[in-house]
Amino acid sequence: MKAVDVVGIDLAGSERRDTGFCAMDLHKKCMTTVIHTDEDILGLTIGAGPKVVSIDAPLFLPRGRKSLEIPGPPHFRECDKELLKMGIRFFPISLGPMRMLTARGMKLREALEAHGFEVVESFPGAAQDILGFPRKQDGLRKLEMALRGFGVKLDTQKGGYTGDELDAVTSALVGLMYLNDDCSTIGDPTEGLMILPPIRRSEEGD
């Protein structure tokens, strides 16, 4: 794979489920695929050599929580509380299936950072809400066309994109915004920040 600027990963909680992978360059040209294992994720990412890896998964625990195995509170990080204030729906990390995703996300972040990559947390659903895109549940073709309308260059020869791929593309797009210093960050740095598209003042409630 040619070196790219950003890798976006729509991580599944289990290796048995599909993980979306997107490699994106500065011109928003994309290559997407569906993969499964941590080994595949690391291999493709290392091969792509991105400046930033943007992952759709919780990558840190709430401050004061020692592990996922010990019941909380706390259940929410500061970035999660900010999403609540913004009216953006999400699943908290303490919810059953989310514990598995969080554990995998934290492990993957550590592995990628050990290889020298900068890793950021993204949330495609929130990004799509902020940008005025439909979420994948509202129709894959609608989301694909919204991404194309935003300048994302998807493969015209591909027969159709999965929701995991389109969320990975959205994660990569947010990573590109971060790389270009054209993004918003929410949360507490001591427990990990979440990267979002730029938020207008009216969206912040000011």
Name the pLDDT band for 202 (thresholds 50, 70, 90): very low
Per-residue pLDDT tens digits for 75-99:
788 898 999 899 898 777 776 778 8
Under 8 Å between Cβ of 127 and 199:
no
Per-residue pLDDT tens digits for 30-51:
999 999 999 999 999 999 999 9
Q: What is the pLDDT of residue 63?
A: 75
Q: Output the CA–CA distances (angstroms, integers) from residue 111 to 32, 64, 121, 152, in the order listed.
A: 22, 23, 15, 29
Cα within 13 Å of Cα(110), Cβ side: 7
More confident residue, 157 or 5: 5
- Domains (ranges, CATH) in the chain? 6-204 (3.30.420.10)
- Residues near 87 by beta carbon (within 8 Å), at least 6 away in sequence: none
